[in-house]
Structure 1
């Protein structure tokens, strides 16, 4: 299966928010990296760098009020500065994938998305408040905040709070309970905050961690904090969703046309149901035996369905 087809299949799978978030982060990183690389050989380098920085969360409210979208956009961007930038996105996406699977299995894709967004927002708000109103941090020079780390921290701490005693096998160290991994993340951020090399990022990490813990505590009490996020997303989806065109008929049309139209609708509905049943059976087969167990015909059916 070609890479494009595989990516299309992964994107269109149902309840696949985790992989979509990872794909968006990687796609944006590669896109801006390519554009800036090309711009260095043209006269557009300054323009491209400015365009990229427009997505950073600025360190003061005076700048933020002119770029309010950055409270969310920064969480889907990563630094492009050399090898450190590569490590930044690589480590974030790996940790998001490992711990994200645990969280999705416990609370579902929609709540996972809500948690990730809340982590990004909490990290951004904490960064803005600290660098705007705390003199020690306000005196520091920083270009702004960028990276998915606040959202990733929310997911890691949520995993440790949801399933504290579940063990994860870490390279060299061996099996470690999720609660200890979560605690280590928080302690590490406090230690790094004291060092001051990346104060803005560490503040965002801790805010994301805090929201991850609170989200799960409230979830266990029956309060779903993902609902406002999902309602907001659904609102915008409905705005851009195509509305079916209404067909008007002149008076005097025979009832035969109405009957024919109804018959066609019933036939289409039956065909759609049969196709959906086939796709569901294929997805169940993947869940039980993996993608490679599919026949060529089943793979083709799945691919055609992903393009609709």
Structure 2
């Protein structure tokens, strides 16, 4: 299985929302890098301007009115000049995202992440449009990065499992609640620095992460509207099965034949799933390289279904 096939396989896994979010962030980063390189070396600065209008959230509400989609798209873009921006965000998202997914599931994780991005955008806009010191600075100021969504996930993990410990480099075992609190304090004191807008977005994401879990425990699932919208658009691109019409009175032998076909398909599907499970167990025990060529092909074919 080559690299592209591996990516396809990872993307098509069920309940794989966390990895899909990370993959989208990485893909957008590479896309932005490619466009900016072409713009610079090809002498086409307009490409850079178009990229900014698609992905960067402007602080000025009058600019936002002409590109409202940036309330969301900014959260999937990262600074090209600082690779550690995306690397650190994706590592933290992966570590804490696994904890959140294990507790509330993939769909709710997606809702949490998107709400974090939106809350970060709102906090950023409030700062630059209603706090006197910052209103004169909003012209030309933009926001990018997944940090607000990442903060939402970190704080959600700390709220869900406050006393579970994570082993941190140099610090040893630290409870999730203290890690989340550390993130919040760090962004709060950093409001006095040069990236006040970014840190305000962090705090907006952190707040929504806490509120999301509080409401979840009360039986209010804030992820439903997000999942509903994403499912609608996802279904638009799914191939619909062809419908067959039969003229009046289908005979009994046709019904029997249909039942036999259904049973045969179910049996085949079970056998295929058992085969896939055995291959995955082998990967878990001995690694991907231990698979035979036939097993790799079976895995690849399964990923395409």
Determine the structure 2 residue equivalent to 1:177.
175
Change in CA separation of 1:88 and 1:247 when aligned onto 2, cut-off 3 Å: same
Cα deviation, residue 166, structure 1: 1.2
Deviation per CA, 1:34-76, whole angstroms, max 9, x where unpaired? 22113322132x1221122011111122111211111110000
* Aligned twin of 1:167: 165
Q: 1:279 aligns with which of 276, 281, 288?
A: 276
1:24-173 counterparts in 2 under 5 A? 24-44=24-44, 46-54=45-53, 55-80=55-80, 82=81, 85-141=82-138, 142-173=140-171
Q: Which moved more, 1:163-172 or 1:33-42?
A: 33-42
CA separation of 1:246 and 1:203: change in aligned 2, threshold 3 A: same
The alpha-carbon deviation at position 192 of structure 1 amounts to 0.4
CA distance in 1, matches of 2:286, 2:159: 31
Following superposition, the deviation at residue 130 of structure 1 comes to 2.3
Normalised to the residue count of structure 1, the TM-score between the two structures is: 0.88
How far 1:216 moved relative to its partner?
1.0
**Structure-2 residue corresponding to 1:216:** 213
How far apart are 1:159 and its partner, in Å? 0.8
Aligned residue for 2:195?
198
CA contact (8 A) 2:35 2:48 kept: no
Partner of 2:4: 4
Q: CA deviation at 1:107?
A: 1.1
Structure 2 residues without counterparts, runs of 5 or longer: none
Give the root-mean-square deviation of aligned CA atoms. Answer: 2.6
Superposition deviation, residue 261 in structure 1:
7.3
Query: 1:257, CA displacement in angstroms?
Result: 8.6
Gaps of 5+ in 1: none
Local SS of the residue matching 1:165 = coil
Farther-moved stretch of structure 1 (234-243 vs 156-165): 234-243
SS in 1 for 2:220: coil
Displacement of 1:155 = 0.5
